Amino acid sequence: MPKIGCFFIVLYFLKLQGFSQNTYVPDPNFEQVLIDLGLDSGPLDSFVPTANISGITDLDVAQKNIQDLTGIEDFLALKNLDCSDNLLTVLNISANTNLTELYCSNNLISVINVNPIDNLIRLWCFNNGLQNLDVSKNTKLISLRCENNDLSVLNISNNLNLNVLVCSDNNLTAIDVSTNTILSRFECSNNLLLNLELSTNTILGYLACENNLLTSLNLSKNNELNVVLCFNNAIKSLDFSQNKTLSDLDCSYNELCQLNIKNGNNMKMTSVNFSGNPILNCVVVDNPQADFSTWQPSSFPNYVNSNEACKQTVPVDVLNDYFGQSYQLPIINNGNYFTASGGMGTPLFAGDLISTSQSIYIYNEINCYSNESVFNVIISAALYYIPKYFTPNNDGQNDVWQILDASNHVNTISIYNRYGKLIKFLPPNSSGWDGQYRGQPMSSDSYWYEMVLNSGEIVRGCFALKR
């Protein structure tokens, strides 16, 4: 009996030794690929000589209807693996620690662990069923494509070498790319993103963020952008004035009411589409007279060369300054009354009685653009009001020097420079002096006036012109 026991023990170890020289490959399609590559002699028997595969560095088994990649663990020297376009539900590459490139897209994989793969530089796992993806240990990663999965979170804060990131068609509500400062291509389309902060991604050249929930997008720091696709969001304002290399832009179907594309590169842009923004009535460009027939919408009527020009498309009523003992605000058609600029301060209404001296603003806003005018109400029992200075800079405030005469006591006014030269003669009820002499603006200085009243009395004094 002891001899028989020894015999079986020897047979058992011989059998183990035989199996240790082979790798178990249960998927016939996988084994057939290895046979076709000369790594197994066949016929199909679910085993491949381990010695034949342990030194392989590159393996392409894409599009082979493989369901099980068991056996890949013995490819210990493997650096590049392409197993995309198969039927894999599980991919265990924890033993393949030398991998630098992994392509496993277009499978049915729900879980993948790449943490042990320290040298991984390229991971393409798009079109699977991944619900989680941890790449925090893959600090050498330069390209990550994980689009069309079920990811709700993606942390790439440790991937400082990332140059390409494609995470479109997931369930992401937020993504932080602030540490990925060398990112040049970023695609995050078809997610649930509410915000996108890109101020640190200064070499970004390609951005696709369409079909999200964005209400704003600031690209002022991204001076190397070539392509921006941000359509189907809820963005209200876009400014591309700093994006001087921009060639392709699609910002259609947002809620735009401000669009500035004055970047010095308009005539080199190959595609521009801002259709589907019904409240956009003004677009700022390099040259409003240029040919924009290839831009969409092709019949857009209102190109201008400044934001100020867009502002001027908003109508606003203008009222003259008033001088007297009380003032009742009249009905206006374009704008509303406020006590401060920009629609701030206290609202006032037609019919209100003004009993204290103040500046009153008429503010009107249409979509993103606004315009305003301002007039002064001077409450006084005096016969007239003489301003001490004016600032003719076309800002709508104190642009003319005008004596306010509510009861028509003033007959004529003469204005002289400091040397006594007559600069301007103002007849009764004149609209004032705009600071010019023979079409040329006068310099900042003191000027003298001589006012003749209807009574014959002469009143003299001085005022300042400030520029």
Render 412-429 in DSSP notation, one character per residue.
EEEEE-TTS-EEEEE-TT
pLDDT for res 369? 81
Rounded Cα gap, residues 123 and 102, in angstroms = 5
For residues 466 and 388, membership in a common domain is answered with: yes
For residues 393 and 356, membership in a common domain is answered with: no
Is residue 349 domain-resident? yes
Given 340, 362, 381, the domain boundary residue is 381
DSSP secondary structure letter of residue 149? S
pLDDT for res 314? 83
List the single range of 208-212, 383-387, 412-416, 418-422 with lowest mean pLDDT.
383-387
Long-range CB contacts (within 8 A, 24+) of 78-85:
83/107, 84/124
Is residue 229 domain-resident? no
For residues 441 and 426, membership in a common domain is answered with: yes
Is residue 267 domain-resident? no
What average pLDDT does range 315-323 have in this prediction? 90
* Angle at alpha carbon of residue 102, lines to 100 and 105, rounded to 5°: 165
- For residues 281 and 302, the answer to whether their CB atoms sit within 8 Å is yes
For residues 362 and 427, membership in a common domain is answered with: no
**Residues pairing with 166 in the sheet:** 145, 187
pLDDT at 425 over 80: yes
DSSP secondary structure letter of residue 314? S
For residues 406 and 347, membership in a common domain is answered with: no
For residues 387 and 373, membership in a common domain is answered with: no
What average pLDDT does range 251-272 have in this prediction? 96
Q: pLDDT tier at 9 (50, 70, 90 boundaries)? A: very low
Condensed to tens digits (0 to 9), the pLDDT of residues 43-73 reads: 999 999 999 999 999 999 999 999 999 999 9
Q: Which helix (H) or strand (E) holds 339?
A: strand 336-340
List the single range of 23-37, 89-103, 201-215, 445-459 with lowest mean pLDDT.
445-459
From residue 83, give the alpha-carbon distance in Å to each of 58, 69, 117, 121: 11, 9, 17, 17
Is residue 364 domain-resident? yes
Give me the DSSP letters along 229-266: E--SS---EEE-TT-TT--EEE--SS--SEEE--SS-G
pLDDT for res 3? 42
Rounded Cα gap, residues 48 and 40, in angstroms = 6
- Structural domain boundaries enclosing 395: 382-467
List the single range of 121-125, 232-236, 265-269, 402-406 with lowest mean pLDDT.
402-406
Question: Other CB atoms closer than 10 Å to residue 430's CB: what's the count?
Answer: 16
Given 381, 402, 436, the domain boundary residue is 381
For residues 396 and 427, membership in a common domain is answered with: yes
Given 342, 365, 381, the domain boundary residue is 381
For residues 386 and 467, membership in a common domain is answered with: yes
What average pLDDT does range 411-418 have in this prediction? 94
What average pLDDT does range 411-419 have in this prediction? 94
Helix, coil or strand: residue 308: helix
Rounded Cα gap, residues 412 and 452, in angstroms = 5
pLDDT at 1 over 50: no
- For residues 398 and 391, the answer to whether their CB atoms sit within 8 Å is yes
DSSP secondary structure letter of residue 455? T
Is residue 376 domain-resident? yes
Condensed to tens digits (0 to 9), the pLDDT of residues 357-405 reads: 999 999 998 877 888 999 999 898 888 889 999 999 887 778 899 988 8
- For residues 145 and 123, the answer to whether their CB atoms sit within 8 Å is yes
pLDDT for res 20? 55
Q: Which helix (H) or strand (E) holds 16?
A: helix 2-20
What average pLDDT does range 170-191 have in this prediction? 98
What average pLDDT does range 91-104 have in this prediction? 97
* Tokens at 293, concatenated: 């027939």
Rounded Cα gap, residues 94 and 105, in angstroms = 18
Total domains in the chain come to 2
For residues 372 and 386, membership in a common domain is answered with: no
Rounded Cα gap, residues 2 and 174, in angstroms = 71
Rounded Cα gap, residues 198 and 208, in angstroms = 12
Q: What is the mean pLDDT of the chain?
A: 92
pLDDT at 219 over 80: yes
What average pLDDT does range 169-196 have in this prediction? 98
Is residue 443 domain-resident? yes
Q: Looking at per-residue confidence, does 97 or 323 come out higher?
A: 97
Is residue 189 domain-resident? no
For residues 390 and 453, membership in a common domain is answered with: yes
* Tokens at 109, concatenated: 């994989």
For residues 367 and 390, membership in a common domain is answered with: no
Tell me the CATH number at 325: 2.60.40
Q: Is 7 exposed, middle or buried (0-12, 13-18, 19+ CB in 10 A)?
A: exposed
For residues 375 and 387, membership in a common domain is answered with: no
Rounded Cα gap, residues 39 and 71, in angstroms = 13
Is residue 309 domain-resident? no
Condensed to tens digits (0 to 9), the pLDDT of residues 334-360 reads: 999 999 999 999 999 999 999 999 999
Report the candidate in 359, 358, 349 with the shortest Cα–Cα distance to residue 328. 349
User: What's the first-to-final CA gap in the chain, in angstroms?
Assistant: 119
pLDDT at 6 over 50: no
Tell me the CATH number at 400: 2.60.40.10
pLDDT for res 18? 43
pLDDT cut 90: percent of the chain above it: 82
